[in-house]
Amino acid sequence: MPPPSAYTILSGYTPGCIGRIAELHGTYYHAHWNFGLYFEAKVATELAAFLQRYDKARDGLWTAVVDVQIEGVVVIDGIQAATEGAHLRWFIVSAALRGQGAGRQLLDVAIAYCRQKLYDRVFLWTFEGLDAARHLYESRGFKLVRQQDGVQWGTAVKEQLFALDAAGDR
């Protein structure tokens, strides 16, 4: 595993990021949750659609990179920030960086961006059982606001909606 200083946080699109981000999600969620083709294709198509409408004045994409390899990512989709809130999406860190602070740094960069943009609310969808991620979200002020059975990722899970009041400390 590379030491924490061996990764760099980059902002914005980099060539190959759609495939690599889909790969990170596909391999992790297949190995740990038995998600399949539906999920990986959903990540790739929704990420591609997001990047085609990406507006750096409202959206953010940050990657944790080791050498030239993406090993972590977080996205802020701000298209509905004024009404529903900014949507935190595609947050993942590879096994190569897990536990080294890259996830905390990516999440902190995304939250700071939302506060700088004066977004009042940041929300994310996840599911029950991702305990390390939940701990990280809650340590940054996210609160569980809704739970429901669902299949939005192609597999039956207990979906969870977390939200952060980003305006609370202004």
**Per residue, what are the HEC states of 77-122?**
ECCCCCCCCEEEEEEEECCCCCCCCHHHHHHHHHHHHHHHCCCCEE
Q: Please count the other Cβ atoms lying within 10 Å of the Cβ belonging to residue 97.
A: 22
Q: What is the pLDDT of residue 50?
A: 98
**50-56: long-range contacts, CB 8 A cutoff, minimum separation 24:** 50/75, 50/77, 50/89, 51/13, 51/17, 51/18, 53/79, 54/13, 55/79, 56/12
pLDDT tens for the chain, 170 residues: list them.
Answer: 445 458 999 999 999 999 999 999 999 999 999 999 999 999 999 999 999 999 999 999 999 999 999 999 999 999 999 999 999 999 999 999 998 999 999 999 999 999 999 999 999 999 998 999 999 999 999 999 999 887 766 778 899 999 999 886 54
The DSSP bridge pattern shows strands 60-66 and 157-165 to be: unpaired
Residue 76 token pair:
């802020």
Which residue(s) pair with 150 in the sheet? 157
Q: Which sequence spans correspond to the domains of the chain?
A: 4-119
pTM over 0.75: yes
Q: How far apart are CA 161 and CA 143, in angstroms?
A: 8
The DSSP bridge pattern shows strands 121-127 and 86-93 to be: parallel
Beta carbons within 8 Å of 41's beta carbon, 6+ residues apart: none
CATH of 4-119, one of 3.40.1010.10, 3.40.630.30, 1.10.240.10, 1.10.940.10: 3.40.630.30
Element (H, E) at 148: strand 143-150
